[in-house]
């Protein structure tokens, strides 16, 4: 009885010892040296694995950072300058400081200003519908509205606005990884510098058609009138193929171009509200109409059509008085 217990204990112990020795030898023999810095750098990086830096993930980017001599070209858009500074301090290398950027959607062709002329029945992804034809509207440069950009966003920074049918970017969440820029078959999304208050002025259109055709397909299209180019004192606006482009480095955010743009295709975001004159004229019309309506209601219950006629007359009258407005 004791013998059998003894034997089994001895057998298992010896087996364990042999296995331990083999494992020890193997682990020594096939040891792979990994620079401990890589793990440290990986720890600093955000760990989003978004591929915004060009490497497939954070680990491989860390390897790249450790193994390359000059890392001034490498940049983690998600971590930004803070993370890159930490990495540089750890590795004793120099990094270039980059201005933070944020993605912007350069199309304003919402459903109400850019009417649909055809219907697409195929799979609802931008990549396929762009391959098949120029889209449901007459503008072949604008947003297709199937949300490929939203689908690739790893940071939940984008959503499709149901009313406009256009993607909206949450600039606080956007890490400027650039996934949406790559996903858009129309190249509508652009990375633009982000300043402290996130003030931006950019042309919200990519339509290269001649003015008339562009305007017909979309009310807020850039018609290439070059008024903005003339008004810009810094030379930040250039015209190319009937389309204006604002160079963010030269732009001083004076917003003169926004005011002169006849189609409102230049977008200014996050600026405090201005009081343009057109609104005042609109108010005059509204007030006048209200007055007339109130009078009418007082006098008698009149038909709706008559009010409309009166409205028209007043609008015409106000226009005559303020011939420069186009409200």
Partner 1 sequence: MLKTFPKGGIHPPENKITSSIGIKRMTVPKVVNVPIAQHIGIPAEIVVDRKDKVEIGQIIAKSGGFVSSNIHSPVAGTVTKIDQIIDTSGYKKQCIVIRTDAKNEANFEEVTYPLLKEIKLEPKEIIQRISDFGIVGLGGATFPSQVKLNVKEGTKLDCLIINGVECEPYLTADHRLMLEKAEEIVVGIKILMKALHLKKAVIGIENNKKDAISIFKNIIKKEDGIQVAALQVKYPQGGEKQLVKAILGREVPKNGLPLDVGVIVHNVGTIFAIYEAIQHTKPLTERVVTVTGKHLETPSNFWVKIGTPIKDLIAEVGGLPEGTRKLVNGGPMMGKAIKNTDVPVTKGTSGILVISEDEASRGKSENCIRCGECVSVCPMGLEPHLLMNLSEKGMYEKASNEDIMTCIECGSCSYVCPSNRPLLDYIRFGKNIVKKLQTSKN
Query: Which run of H or E residues covers position 201?
Result: strand 200-203
- CA–CA distance from 249 to each of 39, 173, 235 (Å)? 37, 23, 11
Q: What sign has the CA pseudo-torsion 56, 60, 66, 69?
A: negative
Strand partners, 103: 191
- Rounded to a whole number of angstroms, the minimum distance from the CB of residue 123 to partner 1 is 5
Give least dist CB 199 to partner 1, A.
35
Asked if 191 and 171 count as a contact pair (C-beta separation under 8 A), the reply is: no
Size of the site for partner 1 (CB under 8 A): 13
Residue 245, SS3 per DSSP: strand
| Interactions with partner 1, residue window 87-146 (CB under 8 A) | 117-118, 121-123, 127-128, 131-134, 140
- Which CB atom, from 152 or from 268, has the smaller least distance to partner 1? 152
Name the nearest CA neighbour of 171 among 146, 197, 143: 197
Closest by CA position to 150, among listed 141, 161, 140: 161
CB of residue 140 to partner 1, shortest distance in Å: 6
**Which residue in 209, 224, 242, 285 binds partner 1 (CB under 8 A)?**
209
The answer to whether 187 and 149 are in contact (CB under 8 A) is no
Rg (CA), the chain: 31
Give whichever of 84 and 139 is closer to partner 1, judged by the CB atom.
139
Shortest distance in whole angstroms from residue 60 CB to partner 1: 19
Interaction between residue 7 and partner 1 (CB under 8 A): no
Residue ranges that bind partner 1, judged by CB under 8 A:
117-118, 121-123, 127-128, 131-134, 140, 209
């Amino acid at each position: 009885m004791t013998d059998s217990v003894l034997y089994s204990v001895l057998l298992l112990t010896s087996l364990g010892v042999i296995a331990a020795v083999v494992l020890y030898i193997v682990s020594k023999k096939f040891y792979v040296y990994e620079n401990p810095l890589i793990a440290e750098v990986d720890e600093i990086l955000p760990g989003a694995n978004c591929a915004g830096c060009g490497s497939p993930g954070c680990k491989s980017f860390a390897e790249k950072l450790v193994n390359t001599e000059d890392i001034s070209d490498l940049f983690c858009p998600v971590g930004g300058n803070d993370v890159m500074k930490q990495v540089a301090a750890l590795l004793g290398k120099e990094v270039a400081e980059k201005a933070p950027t944020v993605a912007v959607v350069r199309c304003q062709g919402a459903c109400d200003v850019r009417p649909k002329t055809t219907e697409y029945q195929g799979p609802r992804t931008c990549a396929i519908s762009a391959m098949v034809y120029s889209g449901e509207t007459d503008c072949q440069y604008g947003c297709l509205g199937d949300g490929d950009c939203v689908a690739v966003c790893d940071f939940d920074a984008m959503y499709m606005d149901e009313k406009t049918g256009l993607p909206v970017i949450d600039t606080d969440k956007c890490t400027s990884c650039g996934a949406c820029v790559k996903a858009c078959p129309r190249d509508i999304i652009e990375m633009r510098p982000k300043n402290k208050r996130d003030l931006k002025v950019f042309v919200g259109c990519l339509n290269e058609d001649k003015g008339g055709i562009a305007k017909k397909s979309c009310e807020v299209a850039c018609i290439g009138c070059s008024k903005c180019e003339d008004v810009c004192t810094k030379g930040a606006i250039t015209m190319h193929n009937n389309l204006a482009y604002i160079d963010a480095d030269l732009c001083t955010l004076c917003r003169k171009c926004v005011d002169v743009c006849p189609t409102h295709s230049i977008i200014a975001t996050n600026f405090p509200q201005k009081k343009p004159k057109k609104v005042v004229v609109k108010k005059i019309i509204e007030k006048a109409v209200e007055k007339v309506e109130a009078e009418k209601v007082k006098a008698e219950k009149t038909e709706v059509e008559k009010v409309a006629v009166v409205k028209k007359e007043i609008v015409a009258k106000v226009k005559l008085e303020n011939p420069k407005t186009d409200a």
